A and B are shown apart, each in its own frame.
Chain A
Amino acid sequence: MTNTIEDITTAADVIMLIGSNPEEAHPVMGMQMRQAVEHGTKLIVVDPRDIGLSAQADIHLKLKPGTNVAFANGMMHVIIERGLMDRDFIATRTEGYDDLAKLVADYTPERVAKICNIDERDLVAAAELYARAGAAAIVYCLGVAEHSTGTDGVKSLSNLAMLTGNYGKPGCGVNPLRGQNNVQGACDMGAQPNTLPGYQKLSDPAVRAKFSEAWMAPISEHEGLKSTEVMNAAAKGEVKGLFIFGEDPMRTDPDIGHVAHALSTLDFLVVDELFLTETAKMADVVLPGRAYAEKEGVFTNTERRVQRVRKAVEANPGTRDDIWIFTEIMRRMGYDQPHLTSAQVMDEMASLTPSYAGMSHARLDTEELRGRGLQWPCPAPDHPGTPILHVGKFSRGTGLFAPAAYRPSAELPDGEFPLVMMTGRVLAQYNACAMTGRTEGCNEIVGESFIEMNVADAAARGIADGDAVLVTSRRGQIRSRAHVSQKTNAGETWMPFHFQDGNANVLTSDALDPTCKVPEYKVCAIEVAKA
Chain B
Amino acid sequence: MSNENLVHVTIDGCEVCAPAGETILHAALRANIQIPRLCALGNDAGVGMCRVCVVEVKGQDALVTACNTPVAEGMEISTHGERVEASRRMSLSLILAEHGLNSTNYCFSCRKNGDCQLQAVCNALGVTEPAYPIPAQDKPHRDSNPFLEFDPNLCIRCQRCVVACNERACNHTLHTAKRGARLTIEAPFGPDWDTTGCESCGCCAAACPTGALIEKRRATYRSWEVEPTLTTCPHCGVGCQLELLVKDNRVVDTRAYHGASNKGLLCVKGRSASFDFVRSGDRLTTPLIKNHDTGEFEPASWDDALDLVARRFTELREEYGGEALAAFACSRSTDEDIYMLEKMARTAFHTNNVDNCARV
Of A267, A293, A301, A329, the contact of B244 (CB 8 Å cutoff): A293
The reply to whether A297 and B342 form a contact with Cβ atoms under 8 Å apart is no
Is B306 part of the binding interface, using a Cβ–Cβ cutoff of 8 Å? yes
Interface membership of chain B positions 137-160, coded 1 if the CB is closer than 8 angstroms to chain A and 0 otherwise: 000000000110000000000000
B277 contacts the other chain (CB 8 A) = yes
Q: With A187-B356, A329-B310 as given contacts, are A197 and B339 in contact (CB-CB < 8 Å)?
A: yes
CA–CA, A283 and B244, complex, Å: 33
Instruction: Give the distance in Å from the alpha carbon of A69 to the alpha carbon of B126 in the complex.
Output: 67
By beta carbon, the residue of chain B nearest A428 is: B268
CB under 8 Å from chain A, chain B span 226-251: 229-241, 244, 246, 249-251
Kindly provide the distance from the CB of A25 to the nearest chain B CB, expressed in whole angstroms: 7
Q: Does A222 contact B (CB under 8 A)?
A: yes
B146 close to A440 (CB less than 8 A) = yes
Scan B275-295; emit 1 where CB is below 8 A from any A CB, else 0: 111111011111111100000
Q: Which residues of A lie under 8 Å from residue B288 when comparing CB positions?
A: 276, 283, 285-286
- Whether B251 pairs with A293 at a CB distance below 8 angstroms is yes
Q: Which residues of the other chain, B, contact A27 by a CB distance below 8 angstroms?
A: 199, 201, 236, 238, 267-269
Using Cβ atoms and an 8 Å threshold, which residues of chain A touch B233?
A: 181
A245 CB within 8 Å of chain B: yes
Q: Do A189 and B265 touch across chains, with their CB atoms under 8 A apart?
A: no
Inter-chain contact A181/B314, CB cutoff 8 Å: no
Answer yes or no: B106 CB below 8 A from chain A CBs.
Answer: no
Among B306, B334, B343, which residue has its beta carbon within 8 angstroms of that of A215? B343
Identify which of residues 340-386 in chain A touch chain B, using a CB-to-CB cut-off of 8 Å: 342, 345-346, 348-349, 370-373
Interface-facing stretch out of B31-39, B48-56, B321-329: B321-329
- Assuming the contacts A181-B234, A181-B239, asked whether A311 and B229 have C-beta atoms less than 8 A apart, the reply is yes
Q: Is the CB of B355 within 8 A of A245?
A: no
Scoring A residues 199 to 238 as 1 if CB is less than 8 Å from chain B, else 0, what string do you get? 0001000000001000101111011111110100110001
Residues of chain A within 8 A of B328, CB atoms compared: 227, 230, 242-245, 247, 249
Of all chain B residues, the one with the shortest Cβ separation from A441 is B146
Contact B290 A349 (CB under 8 A): no
Residue B229 contacts which of A238, A242, A312, A314 (CB distance < 8 angstroms)?
A: A312
Q: Do most interface residues of chain B lie in helix, strand or loop, or is the interface mixed?
A: mixed
**Which B312-360 residues have C-beta < 8 A from chain A?**
312-314, 316-317, 320, 322-360
Contacts of B4 in A (CB 8 A): none
- Cβ-defined contact, A241 with B354, below 8 A: no
Is B357 a contact of A275 with CB atoms below 8 Å? no
- A298 sits at the interface (CB 8 A): yes
> Which residues of A sit under 8 angstroms from B309, Cβ to Cβ?
270, 285, 287, 329, 332
Pick the contact of A292: B231, B259, B283, B322 (CB < 8 A): B231
Contact of B273 (CB < 8 Å), options: A34, A189, A318, A428: A428
- Kindly state the separation between the CA atoms of A253 and B339 in the bound complex, as whole angstroms: 23
Which B residue's beta carbon lies closest to that of A179?
B237
Closest to B274 in A: A435
Interface size class of A (residues with CB under 8 A): 35 or more
- Chain B neighbourhood of A293, CB < 8 A: 229, 231, 244, 251, 275, 278
Cβ contact within 8 Å between B229 and A310: yes
CB distance from A516 to the nearest CB of B (A): 7
Please report the total number of B residues contacting A with Cβ < 8 Å: 115
- Which residues of B are found within 8 Å of A328, using beta-carbon distances? 302, 306
A92: B residues at CB distance < 8 A: none
Using Cβ atoms and an 8 Å threshold, which residues of chain A touch B348? 329-330, 333-335, 337
A519–B357 CA distance with the chains assembled, in angstroms:
11
Expressed in whole angstroms, the minimum distance between the Cβ of A300 and any Cβ of chain B is: 6
List residues of chain A with CB within 8 A of the CB of B214: none
**A342 CB, min distance to chain B CBs, angstroms:** 5
**Which residue of chain B lies nearest to A436 when distances are taken between CB atoms in the complex?**
B273
Residue numbers in A under 8 Å from B332 (CB-CB): 180-182, 246, 292
Contact A202 B335 (CB under 8 A): no
Q: A247-B328, A329-B306 are in contact. Are A276 and B282 (CB under 8 A)?
A: yes
Give bound CA distance, A247 to B348, whole Å: 21
B142 to chain A, nearest CB (A): 16
A191 touching B261 in the complex, CB below 8 Å, given contacts A215-B347, A222-B352, A330-B348: no
Q: Are B285 and A319 in contact (CB under 8 A)?
A: yes
Contacts of A189 in B (CB 8 A): 329, 335, 338-339, 342
Complex CA distance for A372 and B232, rounded to whole angstroms: 11
A247 to B338, CA, bound (A): 12
Given the known inter-chain contacts A275-B282, A330-B348, please indicate yes or no for A224 contacting B331, CB distance below 8 A: no
Residue B266 CB within 8 A of the other chain: yes
Residues in A235-274 with C-beta less than 8 Å from chain B: 238-247, 249, 252-254, 267-268, 270, 273-274
**Docked complex Cα distance between A298 and B257 (Å):** 17
- Partner pick for B312 among A34, A192, A230, A241, CB 8 A cutoff: A241
3 closest A-B pairs by beta carbon, nearest first, are: A301-B239, A297-B334, A246-B330
Q: Residues of A with Cβ closer than 8 Å to B? A: 4-6, 23, 25-29, 31-32, 34-35, 38, 177-194, 196-197, 202, 211, 215, 217-220, 222-228, 230, 233-234, 238-247, 249, 252-254, 267-268, 270, 273-276, 280, 283-288, 291-303, 305-314, 316, 318-320, 322-323, 325-330, 332-335, 337, 342, 345-346, 348-349, 370-373, 427-428, 430, 434-436, 438-442, 444-445, 516-519
28 A-B pairs in the complex with CB atoms less than 8 angstroms apart? A38-B170, A177-B237, A185-B335, A186-B356, A193-B355, A225-B326, A230-B355, A239-B325, A240-B324, A249-B360, A283-B288, A285-B288, A285-B309, A287-B287, A288-B287, A291-B278, A298-B336, A308-B230, A309-B334, A322-B337, A335-B344, A346-B336, A349-B339, A373-B239, A436-B269, A442-B269, A518-B359, A519-B359
